[in-house]
Each structure stands twice: as structure tokens, then as C-alpha cells.
Amino acid sequence: MKKKIRILIAKPGLDGHDKGAKIVSLALRDAGMEVIYSGLHQSLEQVIQTAIQETVDVIGLSIMSGAHLPISEKLIGMMKEHGLDDVKLTVGGVIPHRDIPKLKEMGVAEVFPGGTSFEDIINGINKLFK
């Protein structure tokens, strides 16, 4: 049997709007993934530590405050430092379309702006492991 994808849904930083992170967690769980939800107000150090401890395949950041560019850039640097080279990073939330190429260029594997269907999120993540 194929190994289940383990994903950490993380809410980095100070923003507390967690409806999106929570419902996506539920959708991914129902799609057969093992989902760890970080809870709110996580520092990037905490996100990295949880990703290591839980040996996840994917970190899915949920960012609604508009700070997705600086946060993603910093996390990618930290993932490299910690040798998390095989872990994929996805970003969801309030993301203007014009920022998607910038995020991908940084090394974000997939971007799921608000309005992305559950199906597209699930397929987008599955595709990373094919």
C-alpha cells in the first residue's frame, strides 16, 4: 500500500484567521492524508521543529495577513539550514495572483490562493509525490 502523505498545516506569525487552515485540514484528512495542525501564532522555528518531529512530507502554510512573501522566503531558508530538502512547501490564504510566480521562484512547490477548490488542493499535493 502506498504510504500516506503526512502534512503539517501551519499558521505562522500573528494572524489568527484560522477557518481556512482548519477546513483545509479536514478536507485533506478526509482525502486520506495524515494531517497535523499546528495551532495559532507559531514562530517559524516552531514550524520547523514540528515538521522535524512529525517527519512530515509537506508543510502547508496558511497566511491571511498579506505577509506571505517575507514569511515564505524566511521559512525556505530555514528548511535548507535544517536539511529538510525533501519536504515540500505549499502556501495558501489571501494570496494575490501576481505573487504566485514570486513564491514559486523562491521554491514554494504549490500555491493555493483563497477560492481554490478542495479538489485542486488535494490533487496539487498528491501530484508533488508522483
Partner 1 sequence: MGVAKYIKDERGAIKEVTYQSGIKVKPVYGPQDLEKAGFEYDKDLGNPGEYPFTRSLHPQSYRSRAWTTRQYTGFGTPEETNERFKLMIANGQNGLNVAFDLPTQMGYDSDHPLAEGEVGRVGMAIDSLKDFETAFAGIPLDRIGSGLTINAVATIMMAMYQAVAEKFGYSREQISTTPQNDILKEMIGRGAWIFPVEHGVRLVGDSIEYAVKELPRSNPVSICGYHIRESGATPAQEIAYAFEIAKAYIDNVVQRGIKPEEFVGRFSFNFNVYGNLWEQIAKFRAARKLWAKMLKNEYGVTEKKKLFLRGLFGGGGSGLTKEQPENNIMRGAYYALGAALSGAQTIALCSFDEAYTIPTPRSALLSLRTLEILMDEVGLRDTVDPLAGSYFIETITLEMENKILEEMKEVEALGGMVKCISTGLIQRKISSQAYEYEKGLQSGEYKKVGITPGKTDKESGTTDVELHEYNEEWAEKSRANLKELRRTRNQQDVNQSLKALEKASMTNENVMPYLVKCCHAYATVGEMAGVFRQTFGEWNEPEFY
Where along the sequence are the contacts to partner 1 (CB under 8 A)? 11, 13-19, 22-23, 25-27, 29, 37, 39-41, 43, 65-67, 70-71, 94, 96-98, 113-120
CA distance 84 to 65: 26
User: Least separation, in Å, of the C-beta of 86 and partner 1?
Assistant: 27
User: Least separation, in Å, of the C-beta of 121 and partner 1?
Assistant: 9
CA distance 130 to 53: 24
User: Least separation, in Å, of the C-beta of 66 and partner 1?
Assistant: 5
Would you say 32 or 114 has its CB closer to partner 1?
114
Would you say 2 or 97 has its CB closer to partner 1?
97
| Cα four-point dihedral sign 114, 46, 122, 85 | positive
Would you say 66 or 77 has its CB closer to partner 1?
66
Would you say 13 or 60 has its CB closer to partner 1?
13
User: Least separation, in Å, of the C-beta of 52 and partner 1?
Assistant: 21
